[in-house]
Amino acid sequence: MAKKKKIISEDKLPENAHIAGAGLVEDQRITETLETNYMPYAMSVIMSRAIPEIDGFKPSHRKLLYTMYHKGLLNGARTKSANIVGETMKLNPHGDAAIYETMVRLSKGYQALLHPYVDSKGNFGRAYSSDMEYAASRYTEAKLEPIAAELFQDIDKDTVDFVNNYDATMKEPVLLPVKFPSILVNNNIGIAVGMASAICSFNLGEICETTISLMKDEKHDIATTLMAPDFPGGGLVIYQREEMERIFETGRGSVKVRSVWNYDKASNCIDITQIPSTTTVEAIISKIIEHVKSGKLRDISDVRNEIGLSGLKITIDLKRGVEPERLMSRLFGMTPLEDSFSCNFNVLIAGVPNVMGVRALLNEWIAFRIECVRRRVFFDLNKAKDKLHLLQGLAKILLDIDKAIKIVRGTDEENEVVPNLMIGFGIDEIQAEYVAEIKLRHLNREFILKRTDEIEKLEKNIEEMDGILKSPSKVKSIIIDELREISKKYGMPRRSELIYASEIEEEEDIIEEIPDYPCTLFFTAEGYFKKITPQSLRMSSTHKLKEGDRISQVIETTNNQDVLFFTDMSTVYKAKVSDFGDTKASVLGDYVAANLGFDEGENSRYMVITSDYSGYMVFLFENGKAAKVELSAYATKTNRRKLIGAYSDKSPLVSVFHIQEDGEILLTASSGRMLLVHTGALAVKATRSTVGVQVMTLKARNRLVKAECFTDGMLSKPDRYRKKSLPAAGSMPAVEDIGEQLTLE
């Protein structure tokens, strides 16, 4: 944690001490703070950490791999990971933990990449499990995978630029001269400041073939050679041609991936062996358990994590009679067993972030690789020319070896040997220096003839290299040959199989058949809910209730109905009766607030059961107003479980009723006055949150305290409480109506 600056007051300073500017606070404009402090940080994250470049690597990846290459770990034996991490810190100053995490992700053991670059030994964890953590670097070993050789070949031939490391003690490459489009072969995800990058992986063979076709024809249809992403964890890619073409052209889009499963009839269980790379085993199991506890999934008796030496495995035990295909169709929609990879092909090109499609990315890589090959050929050409120049000087010595020996022996001073050879044979200083350095044992005709025989071969090679540099088509031919070789050497069959969206439409359209049977619903004042079958109710009708609680609603209905719970915070929560399990009268039941995730302090007030959302809702408020709203106003096309603004919150709610037909409601005020109101006199309001209309006039400090549906026999003289027009104050109760009716709250 950063230490706070301590402001020292001048009156507390030691005698004769003075600190300039102590205790002063300087104002700074927010724009200046952003420009001087935040912008450099944001640019550093974008340029040096989160966004990959055209070689397919972020700086942390590149520094680690180059360090391993520099240590000779391409062909040598494995070494402790801690050694590699320590060496990498000479290039990467961000700490050993970050470096080791980078190595883990690039390793074969972690299984996050289609073509890992690090050959690992020991526990490197697993990408598909958040609980399987990797071992410390002192316990594991690593070296480079054979495919890493294609990242560094010819790196010493000036194919890429080198820069100083952070303390200018070493040189490191700006990019790696990768021989294949690694940017699209291995997935890469990064979050920068204000932008992000998410590049999915494609099959190496398909990418090489697509690149070759694109080099031959700029208008090549990518979809004919590049089918779809190929994920390291496998899975089934749901293929949609339009979405794939969008990704190919824009670099943005979404790819749906399904898990691979099989049904074991003998054990009556489902084994899941491949999952989308965007999720983990623990996340899937947690979601399944959540739905089982909430009652949404009733066909599962157990779910287990069975990851072992054979790899990933999730086992789901089924109840008797469950159809596995139907259950998996539901699980795909309710859990991460089907997930999406959101593509955002954001790549640094010449230091500038660009979101590019597959076509544009491959064209950029082709341009980058052409430059690498040209620089390599130019480097080899200069080396060949230098060697040819030396051998041409040696050829002149061949004319008279004895003369050369005589010149060397006859020269008194060593520094005069080279000038004398230059004069004696008409050669330049470089050639003379080369001749002068020849060992005495090599001053024979055979040695010199063998060396000068190379002149013709060198001249031919130089002519070929000159031709390559002058011909773009020859450079492309070299790249094409290299891509074919890499595809043949490292190509693998697809891990992610394709299924077409049209093939699963029928599965996706399957609606769960909810068993429909009669049941009785009990709802208590404290918010407890019970669903009891008639048979169970006949066996025991004595209810267990929380102390002080009472049953407020009893509704006979069927299991295949919607249930709405209105709360005291102007909110309604929607569910299915089938979401709640059958229970008995002898238990407390389901606490609705916990099951449906009410906000803190929120309590349920009223329950509505419906299938067609017919009828009306009538709300009565303390201020004497009433609101009448069609129940259809609470029907939604989507599966929203929470609707805010269910009714007006301008005055506290006294009572709420669901009515199919208009009838009378008996209102009681705190003053004792009573009023019979016919709901037919209330106009239906279009908005749920309407404040309603005044039906009962109340004097100051009086309020409406009770409302109940009126039935015959409740009052001895009901006409006494009916009024010709509304609003009305109502009447004081008759003597025979006092008692049960006048119950003030």
- 300: closest CA among 309, 312, 314, 289? 289
DSSP-H helix ranges across 491-579:
501-508, 534-539
Sequence-separated (6 or more) residues with CB below 8 Å from residue 229: 200, 201, 202, 237, 255, 341, 496
- pLDDT class for 447, splitting at 50, 70, 90? confident
> Which runs of E-coded beta strand occur in 314-401?
314-318, 338-344, 346-349, 352-355
pLDDT at residue number 742: 44
Say if residue 212's pLDDT is above 80. yes
Would you kindly state where each structural domain of the chain is located, as residue ranges? 57-177, 260-336, 363-490, 518-737
> Which runs of E-coded beta strand occur in 480-568?
497-500, 518-524, 528-532, 551-558, 562-567
User: CB of 641 within 8 A of CB of 596?
Assistant: yes
Q: How far apart are CA 211 and CA 271, in angstroms?
A: 38
Q: What is the pLDDT of residues 457-494, one digit of tens each?
A: 899 999 999 999 999 999 999 999 999 999 999 999 99
Sign of CA dihedral 324, 330, 336, 341: positive
139 classed as catalytic: yes
Does the structural domain 57-177 have CATH classification 3.90.199.10? yes
Q: How far apart are CA 433 and CA 674, in angstroms?
A: 123
The CATH classification number of 518-737 equals 2.120.10.90
pLDDT at residue number 8: 44
Say if residue 231's pLDDT is above 90. yes
pLDDT at residue number 739: 57
Mean pLDDT of the chain: 88
Say whether 355 sits in a helix, a strand or coil: strand
Cβ neighbours around 317 below 10 Å, total: 15
- pLDDT class for 745, splitting at 50, 70, 90? very low
pLDDT at residue number 594: 86
Looking at residue 609, what DSSP letter applies? E
Cβ neighbours around 444 below 10 Å, total: 10
Catalytic annotation, pick one of 139, 166, 500, 517: 139
Does the structural domain 363-490 have CATH classification 3.40.50.970? no
**Distance in angstroms between the alpha carbons of the first and the last residue of the chain:** 57
Q: How far apart are CA 328 and CA 334, in angstroms?
A: 10
The CATH classification number of 260-336 equals 3.30.1360.40
- pLDDT class for 24, splitting at 50, 70, 90? confident
- pLDDT class for 507, splitting at 50, 70, 90? very low
pLDDT at residue number 29: 85
- Does the pTM surpass 0.85? The reply is no
- For 133-144, give the DSSP string: PPPPTTT-EEEE
Looking at residue 35, what DSSP letter applies? I
- 339: closest CA among 114, 575, 128, 637? 128
Q: Would 260-336 and 518-737 be classified into the same CATH topology?
A: no
Q: Which range is most confident: 400-404, 624-628, 730-734?
A: 624-628
